[in-house]
Amino acid sequence: MTSTSATASGNLLRTATSPYLRQHADNPVAWHEWGPAALAAARKSDKPIFLSIGYAACHWCHVMAHESFEDPAIAAILNDHFINIKVDREERPDLDEIYMQATLALNQGQGGWPMSVWLTPDLKPFFAGTYFPPRARYGRPGFVELCEAVAKAWREHRTDIVTQAERLTEVVREGLQPGGVPGAALTLATVDEAAETLASGFDTVSGGMLSGTTNKFPPSMALEVLLRAAHRRPAEDKARARYLHMLTLTLDHMAAGGIYDQLGGGIHRYSTDVEWHVPHFEKMLYDQALVTRIYLDAFQYTARPLYARIAREICDYVLDDLTAPEGGFYSTRDADSEGEEGRYYVWTRAEVLAALGEEDGVLFCAHYDVRDSGNWRDPHHPQVPKNVLRALRDVDCCSKMLSVDKAELCERLGRARRQLLTLRAGRVAPARDEKILCEWNGQMIATLARAGTVLDEPRYVAAATRAADFILQHQWCAGRLHRSYHDGRTLPVAFLSDYACFIDGLLELYEATFEPRWLDMAATLHTATQQHYGDAREGGFFFTADDHEALIARSKDLRDAAVPSGNSVHLLNLLRLGALLGDHAAQKCAAQMLVTFARAVRQSPWSSERFLCGVEFATAGPVEIAVVGPRADERTQALLRTVYACYLPNRVLAWHDPAQPNTRLPMLANRPPLDGQPTAYVCRRGTCAPPVTTPAALAALLT
């Protein structure tokens, strides 16, 4: 969609749906949105395309915008030589995926945002990079010199460029098409081997995955694989103990570190050091969903109150800060405020003591590592001693060190956090990207629905319900999803991940509420997914729909990166739908996926974590639980609470009121109450245990 409202420079972003694109609406660059008009302009002018891809919360995107895109002289070079297109990667992950593949190929596996790619008018990439300073520095070429060199090469060496673009396009196509090996379906042994591979990459001091740099991202999906692998092993198994140690070590350090917002809740995107201390301060909705999910799983498995607290605080953060009045969830909080990354979140010791007073201030500073000299050097103001809050000393240590009763210390620290949070709320907050993405909302709906049951918090289920209703009201149009919503407008395109994640959310909502409409809608969305994204010939699902615009590649990707891939999420959806609805076609489709993606998973288990969870579900089999009894009956509720409290990664749960007409779910067929009491039935791999009527008996079956 191309704006009809342009600035004097020819910039066409003023009425874009994306807040990120609107941030560039006043640039002197003649920006276009991606669309037919922009692509036609490139073909007509015979100019190469300069494609800039980023997102609203991206710090270096802002830096490059301020340094280059706001500079009239640099804009003149761009406008003279290129058709300039700005893309929000969160709205158009299809374009981001394709051209990131090219960027990685040209830069020895290095990529990121802002992504800067030069294309021929027929959309084939021939040069790419990430952030470029306006003039050469940091060991990077200058953007001005680079643009002039590309323009000169286009004029004088067109044939060479076209040849390179053709070769690179083939590399991109091959990279986005993982192949299958017939007869080599994945097994539980594959999951166990992958768990061992993942475990070998964990930091044994501070937890998390070592990647060859100091940056650490929350390894939520890798921890899912380790916990599943541990769960299947006997208590005395050494690998089980090692996997659980990695889980708790990582979650404990993340909870204590600066990557976790110690005042307001919520998780930042990643840590810039191996100790989880100084984060990259942006907050992404998908991280809140994924990190909460693993804390909930860990709480079910270990019963540690810390994990329930962190999960609860992240959910509360989302409800307080990332929830639209109509019910959907916003995308991100920026890292920057007042032109500085992290300014909103950091403190000096003097600020803390002035706000809390000497006595409480000393307690707070001791617990949260607030020093006169600072615990972080802000690159914007290296001379100012700033502190990123982290729980460096636990409460027991501080209680002994300061000779303060533990209960009193906890009460005073809680009061201090509330005081400082109120004070922080008076600062200039980082910008919030208020577009509502179907994919990320689906992830958050699933997590909130699960959190509501695990933590016995009905308001989380209510929030998930409102968000699902919002998506169905505003982003489900004529039998198709629309990925993005902002200011009353939608982007009429969606991807496999939008369908898969929303189906996941609806299935979790069904298991939290047992309202048939959620299961019915999940089945409807699955039908649309199969029709428009399914590969009937080779199995699996394409990222784009069958009627999507023609691009240089149509990917069928499996890679779990910052978010799980659509294929990974939908594998689990198929398995759950198959069990709940008795859908043999869904089960067959899931089985085919284990073959289609077998080679890709074996070659790269560290980028297939959520898919491996699906492999474990498919090969270990579901735990099918049917609860029969009046919903309002406390005995029925007690049985459901028992189920929700257990770590059962392959659980499929259904409920039925025996006073109502027969249900259509096979799981509930021929499941009468036992002796007139609310009753639970538990089946594994086609074998059912005798029905039980007490929470204790049910817990024994489940554990």
pLDDT digits (tens, 9 = 90+) for 70-88: 999 999 999 999 999 999 9
- Residues 13-69: tens digit of each pLDDT: 999 999 999 999 999 999 999 999 999 999 999 999 999 999 999 989 999 999 999
Per the DSSP assignment, residues forming a β-bridge with 202 are 209
- Residues 241-272: tens digit of each pLDDT: 999 999 999 999 999 999 999 999 999 999 99
Give 413-421's long-range contacts (Cβ < 8 A, gap of 24+).
413/363, 413/364, 413/367, 415/360, 416/356, 416/360, 416/361, 416/363, 416/364, 417/262, 417/263, 419/355, 419/356, 420/263, 420/347, 420/352, 420/355, 420/356, 420/364, 421/263, 421/264
The rounded distance, in Å, linking the Cα atoms of 23 and 8 is 16
Question: What band does 6 get if pLDDT is binned at 50, 70 and 90?
Answer: low
pTM exceeds 0.85: yes
What is the rounded average pLDDT for all residues in the chain?
95
- Residues 506-552: tens digit of each pLDDT: 999 999 999 999 999 999 999 999 999 999 999 999 999 999 999 99
Q: What is the mean pLDDT of residues 640-668?
A: 93
pLDDT above 90: percentage of residues in the chain: 90
| Cα–Cα nearest to 290, from 258, 326, 266, 274 | 266
Burial code (b: 16+ CB inside 10 Å, e: under 16) for 380-413 equals: eeeeebbbbbbbbbeeeebbeeeebeeeebeebb
Question: What band does 325 get if pLDDT is binned at 50, 70 and 90?
Answer: very high
Calculate the alpha carbon distances from 631 to 309, 450, 480, 524 in Å.
28, 18, 34, 26
| Largest separation between any pair of C-alpha atoms in the chain | 87
The rounded distance, in Å, linking the Cα atoms of 271 and 254 is 9
Q: What is the pLDDT of residue 150?
A: 98
Q: What is the mean pLDDT of residues 352-375?
A: 97
Instruction: Determine whether 619 is exposed, middle or buried from the number of CB atoms within 10 Å of its CB (0-12, 13-18, 19+).
Output: middle
Q: What is the mean pLDDT of residues 196-215?
A: 91
Q: At what angle do helices 566-581 and 609-620 cross, to 10 degrees?
A: 20
What token pair was written down for 512? Answer: 């939290």
The rounded distance, in Å, linking the Cα atoms of 296 and 317 is 16
Q: What is the pLDDT of residue 182?
A: 54
Instruction: Determine whether 489 is exposed, middle or buried from the number of CB atoms within 10 Å of its CB (0-12, 13-18, 19+).
Output: middle
Q: What is the pLDDT of residue 181?
A: 55
The rounded distance, in Å, linking the Cα atoms of 498 and 475 is 11
Number of neighbouring beta carbons within 10 Å of residue 239: 15
Q: Work out the angle at residue 504's Cα, subtended by the Cα atoms of residues 510 and 581, and round it to the nearest 5 degrees.
A: 55
Calculate the alpha carbon distances from 683 to 11, 279, 653 in Å.
61, 45, 11
Tell me the three-class secondary structure of 495-519, residue by residue.
CHHHHHHHHHHHHHHHHHHCCHHHH
The answer to whether 514 touches 570, Cβ cutoff 8 Å, is no
Q: Which of the residue ranges 381-385, 496-500, 597-601 has the most confident prediction, judged by mean pLDDT?
A: 496-500
The answer to whether 328 touches 441, Cβ cutoff 8 Å, is yes
Question: What band does 2 get if pLDDT is binned at 50, 70 and 90?
Answer: very low
Instruction: Determine whether 46 is exposed, middle or buried from the number of CB atoms within 10 Å of its CB (0-12, 13-18, 19+).
Output: exposed
Bond prior to 385 in cis (omega within 30° of 0): no
Q: What is the mean pLDDT of residues 626-633?
A: 96
The answer to whether 87 touches 53, Cβ cutoff 8 Å, is yes
pLDDT at 449 over 50: yes
First-last CA distance in the chain? 54
pLDDT above 70: percentage of residues in the chain: 98
